[in-house]
Structure 1
Amino acid sequence: MPILLVHLNTFLISTHYNPFPLISDSQNKTKKMEGLQNGNSTDATVTTSLQTAPPSSSKLTESLKLEHQFLRVPFEHYKKTIRTNHRIVEKEVSSVISSLPDSSDISQYDAVQHLNSLVSRLQGLKRKLEDGSRAERLQAQRCRARLEHLESADGENISEWNNTRLKRILVDYMLRMSYYDTATKLAESSNIQDLVDIDIFYEAKKVIDALHNKEVAPALAWCADNKSRLKKFKSKFEFQLRLQEFIELVRSENNIQAVIYARKYLAPWAATYMKEFQKVFATLAFTSNTGCEIYKVLFESKQWDYLMDQFKQEFCRLYGMTLEPLLNIYLQAGLSALKTPYPNISFCFCLDHFRFCYEDDCTKEDPLSQESFRKLAMPLPFSKQHHSK
């Protein structure tokens, strides 16, 4: 187990996620060539080794740079499971110790009854520890399976390995788009359950569904489970959930209960988020159908959509996931090489920024001739190539 953690830590520390590794490596090589011209022998040695590296090995290395999330997610889940089990043990043991009576002030019968109660509680703790141990072994197995999968990538089976990676990317996309059943069936039929994060996305699904139904209890429970991590990130998601609960009390014209709620749950956040606190608290003087635009927006249903988006961001950050689906990132990495400002492209002004438009005679073999691909390529920089490939 410690060896597995060392391997994972080494990989995660040494691997820096970069959605466009080919671009950055090209820039690094340019800098090293400049060092060679200036007489830097160290840079010359490194540049020579880069140029003489086997093409297949170099290509595989570039490909693995995009696999940061692949190991990071199960590793974070593994650490979370360990922390949860540790908290359970600390809480139960502390409770047992604090409940021990003074032996001088208790009868023999009461002592026996108390010991029986302690034995029952400790047996319950044992069952919890066994469940926690199974969860830890499952997470460790998943981390090990992913390490072995990455180590199995070589020139001989690269086609099969890429096919498995494509299925992983598709499962990730389906899970993010809420196609849970389809993602599960694809993972099971391809036997890649340990290589995808279905259970983690199902955890998020419970919170998202609750927020969609305008319920904050599951989201608050999730915040409580991850309180230390969210505090480290300086997240305000829990505060926003509390604000929404306050707004719902005001909407139902239960102002007294709203004030009590604010004193209990919002007051601790007031020093940090005073402006938001004052703005929301002022809704007590208005009704949900107020015409004042500043407060009217707080009662709109889109606030729940905002909470769902905010949860997704916090969830991805907690597990080290990318905000964008992996499928989009891989496609954008390829489209960045195809997007050129030269042939068959005309520029037109759209709102506050320029966008590129393909003319009618553009070849249909070019992916950027499709509207969906053009949307993905819109925020990307133009390639330095003079012609799309």
Structure 2
Amino acid sequence: MSQLGIPSSLAATSKLVCLERKKWYTKRTLPSIQDQPLLRLPYELLRKNFRSAHYHIEWDSNFVKDLLKQTANGSVTGKLSQQDVVNNLDQMLARMNGLKRKLTACAEEENRLYRQADARVSHLRELANVHTVDDVKYESWSRQRLDRLIVDYMLRHGYTASATSLAQEREMLELVDIDTFVAMANVRTSLQNGSVTEALAWCSDNKKELRKSGSNLEFMLRCQQYIELVRNLKLIEAITHAKKYIIPFTETYPTEANHIAGLLAHSTHTHHVEPYASYFSPSRWQMLADLFTEANLKLLGLPMFPLLHIALSSGLSALKTPACHSREQNQSQQGKQPSSSANGISTAPNKKSATPEAQGRDKEHHGTASLTTSVCPICSTELNALARNVPYAHHSQSHLLEHDLMILPNGRVYGKARLDEYATMSSLPPGKIKDLVTGQIFEADSLRKVFIT
């Protein structure tokens, strides 16, 4: 590190800071938002699979019971012939065989989800068994976690083939949700292509959950069906459709219902009369696709943004400090506020005419800024722009490397024990302390204690 121009003490301090942050981050991210969907999604899919199996059992068993009752009563009263009774029995057997096939598929899906959940629990248990970030197991686990985040990012953006290839290469098909995102992408693509059939079928399968969450997806899809009927000048069918699917929601969505009724008085070439022009806009299909994606992710308990974005923003926020962008803000403010005299002559300070003391302070300041930039990851060229809009991390407790912090007259902060030790090593007289980085010597009475609230 000394060959790069970085003092060994500062390099060691920077390394310790990074290690402590890694340990702090590891301890607090076991149940993190990146890992919650890993366990929650199989649970939600198991619930959905159970509801589907229960629905098939109730529906088919009620049908068989009713048909059996009708057959028994008809055979006793003589209303049904022997051939009718045989036909009814064949129909009941066929219905039961169909139910058996459905339940077999549900059982296979349940076993697959159980295997997936076991693999994910084992994956997280590996992290629980790692006690230090220096362990080789932690490095391999974190790389696999990064691969999971990349696969999730690619699946959300439609790169299904690449995501599948990466999951197969890393042997982590049980840790990613390819089938779920593929099914969601198929419905989303159908909406972007101008079809609501697949989306309405999905709404029918999740009707109770959509009603509980207060989603208006099904209503918006029915409105789009009405808009397409009006666009194709099928006004009678549009009115019939509105009476069946839109009028019942008048109290829930009064504004949309009134606009839908007003579409009958406007042609499809309306471009300036709002909001009717927006209803005929092709961009509504993209809006419906986004609305479906939001509703689907909400039902599955998945975040709206890729997990890679969440992990990146949280990491940048944990490392970001007010000093990372303060220098650029000061430069921009100085550039926006040039000073000038009444006669129009600029009164900005001339660097050439500055005193040697001021030039020395400026040189020291710029050297310190460049030194901080070389050490701080957020101050680097690659991450500085990404971290600009990221909030500062909120810490309920202070995790510092040193206690009894003291601030020097030049603004630098060190622990008192380290200052005393460095002063002893430098053979300074009593009552004197020395800056570990710049080498400046100050009176011990000039130090001030730092309190962090």
CA distance in 2, matches of 1:273, 1:61: 47
Aligned to 1:142: 116
Task: Identify which of 123, 133, 136 aligns with 2:107.
Answer: 133
**Shift of residue 130, structure 1, vs aligned partner:** 0.9
CA distance in 2, matches of 1:379, 1:57: 22
**Shift of residue 159, structure 1, vs aligned partner:** 1.5
Specify the code of the residue in structure 2 equivalent to 1:197.
D
Query: Which one is further off, 286-295 or 188-197?
Result: 286-295
Is the Cα–Cα contact under 8 Å of residues 69 and 320 in structure 1 kept in the other structure? yes
**Shift of residue 234, structure 1, vs aligned partner:** 0.7
**Shift of residue 375, structure 1, vs aligned partner:** 4.8
Task: Identify which of 256, 260, 278 aligns with 1:280.
Answer: 260
Aligned to 1:378: 389
CA distance in 1, matches of 2:307, 2:200: 28
Three-state SS of the structure 2 residue aligned to 1:315 is helix
TM-score w.r.t. the length of structure 2 is 0.66
Is the Cα–Cα contact under 8 Å of residues 338 and 383 in structure 1 kept in the other structure? no
Is the Cα–Cα contact under 8 Å of residues 214 and 304 in structure 1 kept in the other structure? yes
Instruction: Structure 2: state its 5+ residue gaps.
Output: 1-19, 334-368, 399-410, 413-453
Aligned to 1:18: none
CA distance in 2, matches of 1:373, 1:239: 44
Aligned to 1:71: 39
| Residue 334, structure 1, aligned to residue 308, structure 2 | no
Aligned residue runs from structure 1 range 159-178, under 5 A: 159-178=139-158
Task: Identify which of 109, 112, 127 aligns with 2:86.
Answer: 112
Aligned to 1:8: none
Question: Could you list the per-position Cα deviations for residues 332-370 of structure 1 after superposition, in whole angstroms to 9, with x for gaps in the alignment?
Answer: 011113333334331769xxxxxxxxxx98948745655
| Residue 123, structure 1, aligned to residue 97, structure 2 | yes
CA distance in 2, matches of 1:373, 1:242: 46
**Shift of residue 177, structure 1, vs aligned partner:** 1.1
Question: Could you list the per-position Cα deviations for residues 124-179 of structure 1 after superposition, in whole angstroms to 9, with x for gaps in the alignment?
Answer: 21111111111111111111211121112222522211111111111001001111
Tell me: CA distance 1:83–1:195, structure 2 relative to 1, closer, same or farther (3 Å).
Answer: same
Bigger share in helix: 1
Tell me: CA distance 1:369–1:261, structure 2 relative to 1, closer, same or farther (3 Å).
Answer: farther
Three-state SS of the structure 1 residue aligned to 2:153 is helix
Is the Cα–Cα contact under 8 Å of residues 335 and 377 in structure 1 kept in the other structure? no
CA distance in 1, matches of 2:190, 2:379: 39
TM-score w.r.t. the length of structure 1 is 0.77
Tell me: CA distance 1:212–1:241, structure 2 relative to 1, closer, same or farther (3 Å).
Answer: same
Aligned residue runs from structure 1 range 27-106, under 5 A: 59-66=25-32, 67-100=35-68, 101=70, 102=73, 103-104=75-76, 105=78, 106=80
**Shift of residue 107, structure 1, vs aligned partner:** 3.0
Tell me: CA distance 1:379–1:251, structure 2 relative to 1, closer, same or farther (3 Å).
Answer: farther
CA distance in 2, matches of 1:371, 1:71: 33
Task: Identify which of 204, 209, 215 aligns with 1:229.
Answer: 209
Specify the code of the residue in structure 1 equivalent to 2:287.
Y
CA distance in 2, matches of 1:114, 1:176: 49
Is the Cα–Cα contact under 8 Å of residues 172 and 196 in structure 1 kept in the other structure? yes
| Residue 294, structure 1, aligned to residue 305, structure 2 | no
Question: Could you list the per-position Cα deviations for residues 310-352 of structure 1 after superposition, in whole angstroms to 9, with x for gaps in the alignment?
Answer: 1111111010001111000010011113333334331769xxx
**Shift of residue 200, structure 1, vs aligned partner:** 0.4
Aligned to 2:184: 204
Aligned to 1:322: 303
Aligned to 2:329: 346
Is the Cα–Cα contact under 8 Å of residues 340 and 383 in structure 1 kept in the other structure? no
Tell me: CA distance 1:248–1:56, structure 2 relative to 1, closer, same or farther (3 Å).
Answer: closer
Aligned to 1:244: 224
CA distance in 2, matches of 1:371, 1:114: 73
Tell me: CA distance 1:115–1:148, structure 2 relative to 1, closer, same or farther (3 Å).
Answer: same
Specify the code of the residue in structure 1 equivalent to 2:81.
S
Is the Cα–Cα contact under 8 Å of residues 368 and 374 in structure 1 kept in the other structure? no
Specify the code of the residue in structure 2 equivalent to 1:333.
S
Question: Could you list the per-position Cα deviations for residues 225-258 of structure 1 after superposition, in whole angstroms to 9, with x for gaps in the alignment?
Answer: 1111111101111111111111111122221111
CA distance in 1, matches of 2:229, 2:188: 21
| Residue 313, structure 1, aligned to residue 324, structure 2 | no
Tell me: CA distance 1:107–1:144, structure 2 relative to 1, closer, same or farther (3 Å).
Answer: same
Question: Could you list the per-position Cα deviations for residues 169-203 of structure 1 after superposition, in whole angstroms to 9, with x for gaps in the alignment?
Answer: 11001001111100000011111111001100011
Tell me: CA distance 1:131–1:373, structure 2 relative to 1, closer, same or farther (3 Å).
Answer: farther
Tell me: CA distance 1:286–1:116, structure 2 relative to 1, closer, same or farther (3 Å).
Answer: same
Aligned to 1:190: 170
Three-state SS of the structure 2 residue aligned to 1:322 is coil
Instruction: Structure 1: state its 5+ residue gaps.
Output: 1-53, 350-359
